[in-house]
C-alpha cells in the first residue's frame, strides 16, 4: 500500500535537497515521477525546485485552483508514476492534501510532501495542518539554531536583521528574510 509522507522542518533544513535526492533515486532506477512546487515561490526560476546547495529540477507549479489528483491521474494513465513529490507543501489547500491522500490510497502512488510546519508567528500553515492530520508518516528534518539546539521556529527579519512579529502569513524569502531558531531563541527575539 502506498503512503502519504510529510517531511517538515524549519527554514534552511534541506527539505528541497532531500526531495531532489528522492526524485533522483526514483529516476536513476528508471521510474517516472511527478514534481510539484508552489507557484507563489518566485525566489528562483518559476516551475523549478531549487535547493540552497545548487540542485534543481523542473516541477509543475500549483496554486489554490490546481487539481493535483487530476493531473497525476492523467499522467499515470499514460506512463505509470512511481512517486509524486511536492515542495512547499505548506501552501497546499485542505482539498489538495485530500487529493494527495487519494493518490496514495486509490492509485497506490506514494506521495512525498515537503514543507514548513509553522509560519513566522509559530502558527500552523493550512496545508501543513492538514498533512499533520492525514499523512501516514510524519518525518521531521532537523535544522540547527545558532546555539546548537534543534531549530523548530522561523523568525522573520527585516532588511536590517530585526525580528518582525506582525504581517501576512506568507512572505516568500530565504536567508535574507528568515532565520531558523530554537523555540527559546525565537521567543527571546520576539520579546526584544
Query: How confident is the model over 163-188, as pLDDT tens digits?
Result: 677 766 666 555 567 888 999 999 89
pTM: 0.89
User: Is 140 a residue of the active site?
Assistant: no
What is the chain's alpha carbon radius of gyration, rounded to the nearest angstrom?
17
Q: Which of 28, 88, 140, 188 is catalytic?
A: 88
Mean pLDDT of the chain: 90
Query: What pLDDT does 50 receive?
Result: 76
Is 87 among the annotated ligand-binding positions?
Answer: yes
Q: Is 150 helix (H, G, I), strand (E, B) or coil?
A: strand
Q: What percent of the chain has pLDDT over 70?
A: 91
Return d(Cα 156, Cα 130) in angstroms, integer. Answer: 23
User: Do 68 and 96 meet the contact criterion of CB atoms below 8 Å apart?
Assistant: yes
Q: CATH number for the 4-142 domain, one of 3.20.20.70, 3.40.140.10, 3.40.50.300, 2.102.10.10? A: 3.40.50.300
Is 83 among the annotated ligand-binding positions?
Answer: no
Given a cut of 90, whether residue 156 has pLDDT beyond it is: no
Is 143 among the annotated ligand-binding positions?
Answer: no
Place of cell 521556529: 153
Q: What percent of the chain has pLDDT over 90?
A: 65
pLDDT band at 157 (very low <50, low <70, confident <90, very high): confident
Query: What pLDDT does 175 receive?
Result: 58
Q: Is 44 helix (H, G, I), strand (E, B) or coil?
A: coil
Query: What pLDDT does 52 receive?
Result: 77
Is 182 among the annotated ligand-binding positions?
Answer: yes
From first CA to last CA, the distance across the chain in angstroms is 49
Place of cell 506582525: 166
Query: How confident is the model over 11-65, as pLDDT tens digits?
Result: 888 899 999 999 999 999 999 999 999 987 666 667 778 787 778 789 999 999 9
Return d(Cα 91, Cα 56) in angstroms, integer. Answer: 20
Amino acid at each position: 500500500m502506498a503512503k502519504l509522507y510529510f517531511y517538515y522542518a524549519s527554514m534552511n533544513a534541506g527539505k528541497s535537497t532531500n526531495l531532489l535526492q528522492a526524485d533522483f533515486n526514483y529516476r536513476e532506477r528508471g521510474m517516472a515521477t511527478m514534481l510539484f512546487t508552489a507557484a507563489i515561490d518566485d525566489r528562483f526560476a518559476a516551475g523549478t525546485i531549487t535547493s540552497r546547495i545548487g540542485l534543481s529540477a523542473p516541477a509543475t507549479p500549483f496554486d489554490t485552483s490546481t487539481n493535483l489528483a487530476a493531473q497525476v491521474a492523467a499522467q499515470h494513465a499514460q506512463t505509470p508514476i512511481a512517486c509524486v513529490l511536492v515542495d512547499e507543501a505548506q501552501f497546499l489547500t485542505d482539498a489538495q492534501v485530500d487529493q494527495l491522500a487519494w493518490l496514495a490510497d486509490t492509485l497506490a502512488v506514494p506521495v512525498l510532501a515537503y514543507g514548513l510546519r509553522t509560519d513566522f508567528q509559530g502558527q500552523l500553515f493550512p496545508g501543513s495542518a492538514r498533512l499533520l492530520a492525514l499523512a501516514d508518516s510524519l518525518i521531521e528534518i532537523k535544522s540547527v539554531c545558532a546555539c546548537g539546539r534543534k531549530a523548530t521556529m522561523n523568525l522573520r527579519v527585516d532588511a536590517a536583521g530585526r525580528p518582525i512579529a506582525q504581517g501576512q502569513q506568507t512572505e516568500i524569502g530565504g536567508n535574507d528574510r528568515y532565520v531558523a531558531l530554537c523555540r527559546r531563541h525565537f521567543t527571546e527575539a520576539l520579546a526584544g
